[in-house]
Structure 1
């Protein structure tokens, strides 16, 4: 079991790296840096030599080879492939170890295969928003399940049972559901290139209420003959997505801070109180990064950090729910 625990730590770090590299690739407009999958212009690496470039241009005459973007895409694939191998090793060890969980590692292995399919569809369907968003959500789901599996290998206990916290468990689960919806909204905002649809605070510039268009903004079936790169929605639709994400951020932040406040006031466990303080710190950081994205017009570093903040918030809430439902 100790071997499993150490491997899970490494896999969790690797998964976070894959999520951040995926965000960096997407935000660098490199999602179609390679027009095929799993290789790049029919090769296992980015074509760099003269004969490789000539061959790639012959096979894909309609594409302009941008090596920097192609390398971003391929590095993301290499890391994701390594993550897949780590997950398979975890699955193997779990079935070889008598007291190790079996169902959860199997579910994680199935998810990693589905993630690979989503990665392929992201390219073959030319960044279709619902596929890009699903790929992002799959990554967040994967890291959450890996954390739960890791916690199941640890002798986590809440001293004294902490009965007050058991009563708070349903609200904590509700907060987790709200956060997941907000992350989905963030993925929809990013995949539709709506992050800069509003450039003022606190809501949006102009008569934004009159421009709301939820029917088109949240229609996952909108199609185009060409690529979805840089988005196909009009301004009103993108603005609607952006505004909804902002309102969602206000609601989510309020609920999470209230949950943390109740945990700090009511919990007898130092572990849970520290988790609550971490939750507050991450909410403040995430709101600050969101504001920075608007004020500074989506700088790459802050935008990627915003993705990291969402992942860390999710992991913290998953841990809190695990502790309250299983251990408190």
Structure 2
């Protein structure tokens, strides 16, 4: 119970800090407008405050609905969305104050980063579904599962979304084959996401201002692979589980920062300006 109470107190503290942030942004904007300058808008902090209130509502539902898997998964995903909203604001304020500069990138790289972020989002949701259904231990070996490359799986039961914990919507017990399907979906998707983000790391490395981000991306991918394997072969130890969740949050923050810093339009305008200068010379 004490873990739940600490979580509630921390959540309350986060909400209070977001209210303070909203007030500070409003105050800073008013000061800048008095000086005839454009101040930061209230849209992002207001959206963040609205989102944290929604998170609080989902937190209450996880208790009243007795860990209903769909609600718990959305609550976990909502926590990452909150991190993303805060990360966007950090970068935007840095760009506005001049402490950060936009990074020109090709439209192809920007689009690939967007696709990577969408794939990561899907994988995070799958991971949340694994965790909330306690399907981690459905497979205790790697690369095989239950001594087979393709064990018995119940995909329909595993991905029946609106149902109580451990049960089907009909009230029947959730089968082990359904848990296996949940686990294998996350495992198979992980391979594709790992390849995609690994390629993204290589492409980011080719953009000098983003090489630090490329290193972090590669390191986080390695962390995710190691902690994911540890969860399976070591019986879901707490440290590995927490590190795996933290790694997912780190990946979400990193891709958010890359997308917010990147400017495909700047890349285009820079190339046009360079071409024009060469022609004039």
Asked if Structure 1 and Structure 2 have the same fold, meaning a TM-score greater than 0.5 normalized by the shorter chain, the answer is yes
Q: CA deviation at 1:208?
A: 6.2
Give the Cα separation in 2 of the matches to 1:71 and 1:296.
26
Q: If each structure's helix is expressed as a fraction of its own residues, which one has the higher value?
A: 2
Q: Which runs of 5+ in 1 are unaligned?
A: 1-69, 227-231
Q: 1:284 aligns with which of 193, 198, 222?
A: 222
Q: Secondary structure at the match of 1:201?
A: coil
Q: 2:240 aligns with which of 295, 302, 305?
A: 302
Tell whether the 8 Å contact from 1:166 to 1:324 is kept in structure 2 after alignment.
Answer: no
Could you report, residue by residue, the CA deviation over 1:152-184 in whole angstroms, capped at 9, with x for unpaired residues?
Answer: 1103214xx545x44310011000000010000
1:112 paired residue number: 52
Question: How do 1:3-82 residues align onto structure 2 when only pairs under 5 Å count?
Answer: 70-82=1-13
Q: CA deviation at 1:97?
A: 2.4
Q: 2:21 aligns with which of 90, 95, 99?
A: 90
State the TM-score, normalizing by the size of structure 2: 0.83
Question: How do 1:146-225 residues align onto structure 2 when only pairs under 5 Å count?
Answer: 146-155=86-95, 156-158=100-102, 162-163=104-105, 165-207=106-148, 209=150, 211-223=152-164
Give the Cα separation in 1 of the matches to 2:263 and 2:160.
36
Give the Cα separation in 1 of the matches to 2:117 and 2:193.
9
Question: How do 1:264-279 residues align onto structure 2 when only pairs under 5 Å count?
Answer: 264-265=205-206, 267=207, 269=208, 271-279=209-217
Q: Secondary structure at the match of 2:138?
A: coil
Give the Cα separation in 1 of the matches to 2:223 and 2:184.
20
**Gap change, CA 1:76 and 1:220, over 3 Å in 2:** same
Q: CA deviation at 1:207?
A: 4.6
Give the Cα separation in 1 of the matches to 2:82 and 2:65.
23
Tell me the C-alpha RMSD between the 2 structures.
1.9
Give the Cα separation in 1 of the matches to 2:142 and 2:5.
37
1:49 paired residue number: none
Tell whether the 8 Å contact from 1:183 to 1:310 is kept in structure 2 after alignment.
Answer: yes
Q: How many residues in Structure 1 have an aligned counterpart in Structure 2?
A: 248
Q: Which runs of 5+ in 2 are unaligned?
A: 30-38, 168-172, 268-281
Q: CA deviation at 1:90?
A: 1.1
Give the Cα separation in 2 of the matches to 1:148 and 1:203.
40
2:273 paired residue number: none
2:270 paired residue number: none
Identify which range, 198-207 or 132-141, moves more after superposition: 198-207
Could you report, residue by residue, the CA deviation over 1:246-273 in whole angstroms, capped at 9, with x for unpaired residues?
Answer: 01111111000101112213x1x3x301
Give the Cα separation in 2 of the matches to 1:224 and 1:273.
44
Q: CA deviation at 1:95?
A: 2.2
Q: Secondary structure at the match of 1:202?
A: coil
2:266 matches 1:322: no
2:193 paired residue number: 252
1:25 paired residue number: none
Give the Cα separation in 2 of the matches to 1:149 and 1:207.
47
Give the Cα separation in 1 of the matches to 2:241 and 2:148.
27
Give the Cα separation in 2 of the matches to 1:262 and 1:219.
38
